Structures are given as C-alpha cells and as structure tokens.
Amino acid sequence: MEETKRYLQSFLSQNKVDIPESKQHLFEDFIHNESNINAVKLIKEKQQMIMNNWKLKNRIDDILNQSVFLPNGTVNKTYEAKIDFEQLEWQDVVFYEIKNLEDTGLIFDTDKKIIHGIPKVNGDLKIKFLFKIKIDKDVEESPLNEKIITLIINPDPKSLWKSIESDAAAPFSKKDIEAISDRFLDKKMVAVSKRGRSHANVGGFREDDFNVANFSNGWSLIAVSDGAGSASLSRKGSKLACETVVQYFEENLEKENLNEFDELLYNYYNKTDEESITKINHLVYDLLSKAAHFVNQKIEEFAKNIDEEINKFHATLIFALVKKYEFGYVVLTFGVGDCPITLVNKDLTSVTLMNTIDVGEFGGGTRFITMPEIFQNEKYASRFGFKLLNDFSYLMLMTDGIYDPKFVVEANLEKIEKWQAFLSDLNGNNDDNAKVDFKNDSDIARQLSTWMDFWSPGNHDDRTLVIIY
C-alpha cells in the first residue's frame, strides 16, 4: 500500500496536482481503491519491462560494437586462439555458438572457448558469434544475436613463390636439383644440391654445385661450390670449380710424394712433435695449394676461350680430401668463400670448423676461387686445414643456403649445442616433421632433399649439403 501511495503522490506531483490537508481523507480512499492499486502495479510492471528491454538492447549493442582481436593465422600452420570471455567481460553471456568455420580447417571448442586447427583457406574469415544475454527473462525464447568477428588467415608464404623450370636449352644449363647417396671410404655419403626459391621464382638456374670422387690410392674427395649471385655465369663457375679440383687430383694425386706424407703421419700419430706438425702442414699446404691454383687457372682459361670476363664465373670453393688409416682418419681441407666444412666427433660432444669463413662485417666479404688476389694475401695460409682423429660421426660441407638460416652467424658454427640442434632438426624436430634417417637410409637422398625444402623467411638461396656419416 505504501508503494502505491508513493507512486500516486509522485505521479500527481509531476502533473502539478497538490493534495491539500482537507483532501487527505479523500486521497486515502483513492489509494485504497483496488482498481487504482492494480493500475499502479500494471504500470510499474510495464516500466520494468521497458527498462529491461532497454538494458538488454543496450548490452547487446555494446557487445556488437566491442572489438574482439584474434591473432592472425597462416594457411597450413597450426592455429589456436581463445575468445577470453572474462577479459571481454562477457560473464552475462549465457548461450553462444560459433558459425562460418565450415571448410576452413578450424573448429571451435565450446567448453574451452578456443578456435583451433590448421587453416586451409586464406583471407578475412567472417566468423559469426551467436549469443544470448541473461538480462532477458525469456532468454530461452529470445532470438540469437549475431556478432561478426574477423579472423585474418594469411596465405602460406611458400604458395606465393613460383617454380619455373630453368631453360634447358640455355648455355651451361644444369639440373635444378642434384641428389645422390653412396659409400665414402668405409662410411656413407649423401649429397643434395637444390635450386633456391629466389631462382626458381624467375626461372633462374641453380648456382651451387658439388662433386665427389674416390681415388685408387685410398683417398676420397668432396667438393662444394656456391656461384656468386651477381655473376651471370656463376652456375658454370661453380661446376667448373668442383670438376677441375677433381681433375687435378685424378691427374696428380698418384704423382705427389704421399709416401712421405704417410710416414710423417705415422710419426705424428705415435709422437706428436713440432717438427712433424710443421712438415705435415707444409705438405698439406703444397698439395692443396696446387689444386686451388689449378682450379683458378682452368676457370680463367675457360673464360678466355669463350671471350668472357672471369668475374662472370665467380664461385666459392671448399673441398675435403679424406683417407682412412688403420689408426684413424685424416682430413685435409681448403676453403675460399662463406661455405663451412665441419667435423663432429663420434659422441657428438665437440665440433671442429675446418676452414676460415670469408664474411664481411657489412656483407660483401665473400671471396671466390676466381679471384687471383686470394693467393697473394696474408690470409691464404689460413685457408688450409688438417685433422687426424680416430673416428667421427659426421663430416659436413654446406653452402650458405643452409648455413645462414640454420646457424645465422659464423660463431655458431663452432658451438656444439648448435650442431646438436641442427642434428635434431635433421632427425625430424622441425615444423615440417621432415626427417633424414641415417639408420634406415635406403631413401636418404630423397629424405634430405625433402628436408631441404624448409621454410626460413628471407633465406631463399640455393641449398647444398654433403654429409659423410
């Protein structure tokens, strides 16, 4: 009754109707009138309904206009994002569902409020978020409200690159990919050289190259070369570099006084002393230096014969000459350019970088076997390497197409933890789950070729990797 009285007093006052003292008894009868009591009750119910309707409409509008940010996804890459109701202050949402994820590769986990999956399409996905608010007392009967949430799915970067075959009829053309596996001394070898995406995208040539040779006197050779991107005929330069270093040893290895080397090596193994070390280093320098000079001269002769400048054939060159003795392996190396030669010991606890890497502080520091000045400066002696060891797990030669994305900087090449991570990567610990199985290796060349398709933003150069294992 008091509520009715207050309401009617307020109502009459709003309409400028005053109730004098003399009319109070009349007003008391008025507020006790059942018809008036019911009318006030009905009015208040309608007012509450209007208020609830406004609150509901206003709250729905707030949610419809509220920004919901979902992280961008990428086609073929695992995606997961939570719609955080607590952070969005959606505690009053009592029912919800997600639509428009059909055929996208994504699903919505209603319990966890998580969108997840592997996107199959790119573009701006317009996700429908359908919901109800608990303000509505007839929430079960009320229609679903629809909010559009945009989820951006970027295309797979790999799909943006073309793969145009190189011109097989062009001068000095060669295969876009070369992959082999074979025996190497008493170990095994796998080698793959692949044209990089940057070259494939424009129908360019593979500028990397490699060669492997076994000689009758027990020595074996691996050579790898990376043609300079700025040199128009570097594809031929890298091929010549690998072929002519093999040619040199085929023609001269038997002639060299390697008996003296064998004797020095036995002495070195039994008792390491400064004299034997000096003599071995001298013989290594003499033998490998002649081979490097031979390569330089042969490429220069080739350029002159076809009336081209030698700088069009610029290419790096690394090679390793290896032999197995009863007491271990000897590894002789030479390197010019930014391609590493590395030995990982038997139990994977240490690594030896066998060559000096030519890198510049601001880039452009690479040197090439075609540059005569490399034979004339003080750094030349540091280009040679010698190692005698009982055994090793891996001997690897690679171009910067592998080294740059996987090791980033030169200093990492001498950190065993980086090599352990690299070997783990080869073993399948990568985004593509691509594995090179060194035990079940009947198909290892294909496995390594597949692994070498890894994605690394900004690293799309040719990739060459030779592994002795």
Regarding whether 119 and 53 lie in a shared domain, the answer is no
SS3 154: strand
Are 299 and 240 contained in the same domain?
Answer: yes
Q: Is the pLDDT of residue 272 over 80?
A: no
pLDDT band with cut points at 50, 70 and 90 for residue 257:
low
Residue 362 has pLDDT above 50, yes or no: no
Which residues constitute the domain of residue 31?
2-65
> What mean pLDDT do residues 126-135 have?
92
- 213 and 304: one domain? yes
What confidence score (pLDDT) does residue 438 get? 97
Whether residues 391 and 323 share a domain: the answer is yes
* Per-residue pLDDT at 361: 47
250/129 same-domain check: no
Q: Burial of 228 by CB count in 10 Å (0-12 exposed, 13-18 middle, 19+ buried)? A: buried
Instruction: In whole angstroms, give the CA distance from residue 62 to residue 53.
Output: 14
pLDDT value at residue 139: 63
* Cα–Cα distance measured from residue 107 to residue 146, given in angstroms and rounded to the nearest whole number: 18
**Distance between CA 335 and CA 382 in Å, rounded?**
9
- Do residues 202 and 303 share a domain? yes
Same domain for 78 and 42: no
Domain count along the chain: 3
Mean pLDDT across the stretch 81-96? 94
Claim to verify: residue 397 and residue 431 sit in the same structural domain: yes
The pLDDT confidence band at residue 276, using thresholds 50, 70 and 90, is confident
pTM of the model: 0.78
Residue 363 has pLDDT above 50, yes or no: no
pLDDT for 364 beyond 80: no
469 in Cβ contact with 439 (< 8 Å): no
- Confirm if 173 and 134 have CB atoms less than 8 A apart: no
**Rounded-to-integer distance, Cα 435 and Cα 424, Å:** 9
Q: Which of 126, 160, 194 is the last residue of a domain?
A: 160
Given a cut of 80, whether residue 140 has pLDDT beyond it is no
412 and 464 in one domain?
Answer: yes
For position 336, what pLDDT does the model report?
Answer: 96
Q: What pLDDT digit, counting tens, does each position of 405-440 carry?
A: 999 999 999 999 999 999 999 999 998 999 999 999
How far is it, in rounded angstroms, from Cα 172 to Cα 306?
A: 12
384 pLDDT higher than 60? yes
Neighbours of 246 (CB within 10 A): 20
Averaged pLDDT score across all residues of the chain: 93
Tell me the mean pLDDT in the region 381-390. Answer: 94
Residue 153 contacts residue 75 (beta carbons within 8 Å): yes
Indicate whether 406 belongs to any domain.
Answer: yes
Question: Comparing 45-49, 212-216, 304-308, which segment has the lowest mean pLDDT?
Answer: 45-49
Same domain, 82 and 59: no
Q: What pLDDT score does 136 carry?
A: 58
Number of CB atoms found within 10 A of residue 20's CB: 8
The answer on pLDDT for 372 being more than 60 is yes
